[in-house]
Amino acid sequence: MARREREIGPGEVTCLACGWVSYAVTRAEAESEVARMRAYLATLSAEDRRGWSEEGPSVEKYVCRSCGGNTFRPALPEDCPDGATTNPVIWQP
Ligand SMILES: [Zn+2]
């Protein structure tokens, strides 16, 4: 019986530097998400904001979670281990 490969989502990409799989978003998508998060955080009390870093959400964080790289290629099924969580990165082919 063939091993079933995990399906790769259309936006998933692999870091060229370290092989970590993330999913790609455009800069515009990242900026709107950051703006949405900032607006949400602004509604929280100082207490509830604990756990968020001082500078808050930022498009600068849309890079490889493993190595901080920002060059990617489309992911292949064998790149992505089952159950891996992916984080968004800014990348456009
Ligand atoms: Zn990386």
Q: How far is the CA of 20 from the centre of ligand 1 (A)?
A: 5
Residues 6+ apart with CB under 8 A from 21: 12, 13, 14, 15, 75, 79, 80, 84, 86
What's the domain count of the chain? 1
Whether 1 is in a domain gets the answer no
Q: What is the pTM of this model?
A: 0.77
| Residue 41 belongs to a domain | yes
15 C-alpha vs ligand 1 centroid, how far in Å?
5
Q: Containing domain of residue 33, as a range?
A: 12-90
Whole-number Å distance, alpha carbon 35 to ligand 1 midpoint, is 25
pLDDT band (50, 70, 90) for residue 49: confident
Q: Is pLDDT at 45 greater than 70 in this prediction?
A: yes
- Is 46 among the domain residues? yes
42 alpha carbon – ligand 1 mean position (Å): 31
pLDDT in tens, 17-37: 999 999 999 999 999 999 999
